[in-house]
Amino acid sequence: MALKATIFKADLQIADMDRNYYGDHSLTIARHPSETDERMMVRLLAFALNASDTLAFCKGLSSEEEPDLWQKDLTDAIEMWVEVGLPDEQRLRKACNRSKKVTVYAYGGRGADVWWKQIENKLTRFDNLTVYNLPGDSSELLATLAQRTMRLQCTIQESTVWLSDGEKSVEVEPVVWKQG
């Protein structure tokens, strides 16, 4: 019998001073059985960093055809494709050809560093690709905020993110590896 996704609910308040975006989002997040709390929370962080009324969670790990998040226009064209983790070159090439903007949030400490060194030169030609690295301890601390029902506040200022559940707060400073 196949394992089913675990459903998480998040009420997310976002105050993004860098983009002048302020919004409240009630999100339903399906965590794939093979997905960790860390990865799920990095997806939530990626949502907060790119939040809009049309940004949506996708099938992610359940589908090779969809990213973790995307934003489509009214004609169903993909405006933004967001990947979490360490996607391979072929997947990123495909994403860059299908979307106006592609963003990757890499995490995993030393593993992310090795991945970037192997793939960096192959991605230089993509002007619509931005790659961020989330420091290892930051992404691990995000996992401590994971609960089936979450009420989170997210403040973004000068490229630093503070995510809090009222009791615990995690600070994340994404490092730009490639600017699109």
Evaluate the CA torsion angle 136, 88, 96, 30 in order and state its sign.
negative
- Angstrom CA distances, 92 to 79, 119, 134, 161, stand at 15, 10, 18, 25
d(CA 107, CA 141): 12
DSSP β-bridge partners for residue 26 = 11
Give me the pLDDT at residue 136, please. 81
Compute the distance between CA of residue 29 and CA of residue 39 in angstroms, rounded to an integer: 12
- pLDDT tens-digit series, residues 69-97: 999 999 999 999 999 999 999 999 999 99
Residue 61: what pLDDT? 58
- The closest of 96, 54, 97, 49 to 75, measured between CA atoms, is 54
pLDDT at 94: 94
pTM over 0.75: yes
Helix, strand, coil percentages (3-state) for the chain, rounded to 5, are: 30, 40, 30
Cα within 13 Å of Cα(120), Cβ side: 13
Low-confidence ranges of the chain (pLDDT < 50): none
Architecture (CATH level 2) of domain 18-178: Roll (3.10)
